[in-house]
Structure formats: structure tokens, C-alpha cells
Amino acid sequence: MSGIEGFHAVIPAGGAGTRLWPLSRTGRPKFLVDMLGSGRTLLQGTVDRLLPLTGPDRLMVVTGRAHRDEVVRQVPELVDGELDQVLAEPSPRDSMAAIGLAAAVLAQRHGPETVLGSFAADHVVDNQDIFERTVAEAVAAAHAGYVVTVGIKAAGPSTAFGYIAEGDQLGVAGAPTARHVTTFTEKPDADTAWTYLATGRYCWNAGMFVVAAGVLLDHLHTQLPTLHDGLRQLAAAWDTPQRDAVLDAVWPTLTRIAIDHAIAEPVAANGGVAVIPGLFGWDDVGDFDSLAALLGAGDPDGPGGDPPRSATLGDDDLVLRIDADDAFVVTTGRAVTVVGLDEAVIVDTPDALLVTTRAHAQKVKTAVDAWRARGATSLL
């Protein structure tokens, strides 16, 4: 396939990834890191996945100023064309400002009918074919005026994701699997997650949104007019010599809000949001438990399976496991020996070592907070 006509992909590349510290650092967050040992960073993997849908001219990254140079180094094709496709934010202003800026710039450059899809820079997908067909359906529904999300089939009652409740079929040509979204819910507790799963009508919110630029900006105009006006003002100046001056004046005034709260939730309540079930493999590489599983650690038949599988990020010849077959080890050059620790997670970097377990993966974030509180800024 030679892409989806007129479709633009936007990759918001932000977030600290503190649950993947010390692999992910403030200066080099997880999307800039080769987290899977594949030879490509998560950002490059995301670009590789979207390029077949867009080609290099219809792909845009929105990132922080501090990361722009590295983004350009990793994805040089984004600055090869006539227009600069790496938008740099002076400071983090949450996902609505990032995606809204992209939408406003695309509307300015290509007109309000332009359909854009937003896909996080640090997720992984494992079936390209299904992914492409899903996005194509989403684009069809977006052309019909909907804000479209892709819902991930829940693999279990996770409390790490928000959930999307599916309603009736949408009935739009080119989007046979599309349904209305009745509600978006925040990350639930475990009991609520079980209840959702039991209904069979909930899927995970992976933060993928596909929408016409003009439709998104109109919703924003209704919900948050000041934010809308600021983004329009920025877009008008973007490809002119006034860009930096307007950015300096306007950017700090923008409301910090997630696109889910700003658009998805209120518009869903009015029937304006659709969902396409995403039946491809998906992972947000959220923490070391998730990363270990992605790299094959542990046993697919559950604890005690024989033999458990090992996973190493780095040179496995440097790793020795004794009574710890399923220990997940990240090494950047030193010999690592693990004796007698099941489900261990060991992340060895040149200046910082983390030792934890897969069950404690979500707590790694608190370690970053604690080092920050100690003033150890070089470790962050």
C-alpha cells in the first residue's frame, strides 16, 4: 500500500518514562532509547510503523526543545523536506497543547479537512498489517466528522490504563468495525477493571486519536476557546520569521490539559467519538515488568513453568544466572551475575544500578523522586 491519501501522522514525543529509570533519563527519555535491543529507538520504531501510511512528508513529531536535536538525528527525513516537521515546544504543556499545535499547523498548511492521527512515540505494535487496516478505518470515520480513537483489546484487568466503553455500531462507509464511544474512564481500581472486562464492551485507551484538523479545532474552540485561539495564533506564525516571538509570548499562557479531558470525554458525551477495535499486539513499554515480558522473560505457562525463559537487554554473554532463569537483566557492558532471585529485574548502566523485582516495577518511579529529593540531579 502506498499510504492513506492525505493522512498525516503526528507523534507527540514527550514524557519522562521514570518507571524505566535508569534506562530512561530526563535528558534521554525512553522514546529516544533502543528499549528492545532492536537497533532502533522507540521513536524510530514508531516512525517505521507510520511511514508506510504517510511517507516522510506527512509525518510530524512534537517534542520538547531539549530533545529536538536528538529527534532530528534519529529521524533525519523529518527535516529533509520543504517544511519543518519537528515541532519543538518551549516547555511541556500536556497532550492537548502538543496535538492541538500539530492540528493547527496542519490546518494552516494543508487546510481544515486534513485528517491527522496521533500516536505516542514510545509504544510498540506487533502486527503492522492489522495496524494499517485499523488506522485506515479510523481515517474513514474521521472523514465523516468523528473524533476517532483506537481501542486496544484488553489482555487483562489492568489498572495501568484508562478504559473506553463501546456503544452501538457507527455505520460509516470504510469503517465497518467502528462503534460509538459512550464513555472514557480513568485508570480504574482492580475490581472495577474486572467489572469492565466482564461486560465485553470495554477496551484500553492507548491514546491514539484520529480526527480532521478542523473538527479537532472546532471542538477545542467550544471547550477551551482561549487554548484554541493561542494555538491558531501559533500556527499562523509557525512558518514565518515570527515563530519564536509568538511562541515566547503565547506558549506559556496555554492551558495544561490532556486531550482525553479536553476533547475525548466531553465530545464522547455528545456522541461525537468513535472507536475502532485495535486487534494488533500493543504495548506501552510502561515499566520493567512490561519490558521484561516483551523481551520474553518468564514462562508463558505461568510460574514454575520449566524452563523459564531468560531475557537480556544487552550482551547475554555478560550475564550469568544461577537459580534465577527468568531474571531480567539490562547490561551496558559489565558482567552481571544473579544467584537465586526469581523475577528479579537488574538494570545496570554506567553510572546507576537498579535492582528490583517485576512485581515492584511500578514503584521505580518513587526511586527517581527519592534521588531528586537528595539532589542527585546527574542521576535523573
Q: Which residues of the chain form contacts with its own copies (CB under 8 A)?
A: 22, 317, 320, 322-323, 327, 334-341, 344, 346, 348, 350-357, 359-360, 363-364, 366-367, 370-371, 374, 376, 379
Query: Measured from the CB of residue 372, what is the shortest distance to its own copies in angstroms?
Result: 11
Residue with C-alpha cell 540531579? Answer: 377
CB of 124 to its own copies, least distance (A): 24
**Residue 195 vs 366, nearer CB to its own copies:** 366
Residue identified by cell 485508570 is: 187
Neighbours of 145 (CB within 10 A): 15
3-state secondary structure of 304: coil
- Shortest distance in whole angstroms from residue 297 CB to its own copies: 15
| Angle of the 213-223 helix axis to the 94-110 helix axis, nearest 10 | 130
* Residue 258 CB contacts under 8 Å (≥ 6 apart), including other chains: 94, 95, 96
Q: Cβ of residue 342: shortest distance to its own copies, in angstroms? A: 10
Judged by beta carbon, residue 184 or residue 328, the one nearer its own copies is 328
DSSP 119-143: --TT-EES-HHHHHHHHHHHHHHHH
**What torsion, rounded to 10 degrees, do the Cα atoms 246, 96, 19, 163 define?**
180
By beta-carbon proximity to its own copies, the closer residue of 269 and 339 is 339
Tell me the closest approach of the beta carbon of residue 79 to its own copies, in angstroms.
36
Looking at beta carbons only, is 250 or 379 nearer to its own copies? 379
CB contact at 8 A, 358 and 288? yes
Residues in contact with 249: Cβ distance below 8 Å, sequence separation at least 6, in sequence order: none
C-alpha 63/C-alpha 24 separation (Å) is 16
Dihedral sign from CA coordinates of 361, 155, 98, 1: positive
Q: Quick one: 205 or 356, whose CB is closer to its own copies?
A: 356
CB of 308 to its own copies, least distance (A): 17
Minimum CB separation from its own copies for residue 347, in Å?
9
The grid cell for 260 is 482525553
Question: Measured from the CB of residue 260, what is the shortest distance to its own copies in angstroms?
Answer: 29
Q: In angstroms, rounded to a whole number, what is the distance separating the alpha carbons of residues 371 and 348?
A: 17
CB of 107 to its own copies, least distance (A): 46
Q: Which is nearer to its own copies, 83 or 370 (CB)?
A: 370
- Choice between 197 and 379, CB closer to its own copies: 379
* Residue with grid cell 504495548, as numbered in its chain: 283
| Residue 373 CB burial class (10 angstroms; 0-12, 13-18, ≥19) | exposed
Q: How far is the CB of 81 from its own copies (least distance, A)?
A: 43
Residue type at 127?
N
Which is closer to its own copies, CB of 18 or CB of 63? 18
**Which secondary-structure segment (H or E) carries 63?**
strand 59-64
Nearer to its own copies, 114 or 310 (CB): 310
Are 220 and 263 in contact by the 8 Å Cβ rule? The answer is yes
Q: Which is nearer to its own copies, 103 or 319 (CB)?
A: 319
- Bridge-based pairing state of the strands 86-89 and 59-64: parallel
Task: Collapse the DSSP code of 256 into the 3-class scheme (helix H, G, I; strand E, B; otherwise coil) and give the result.
Answer: coil
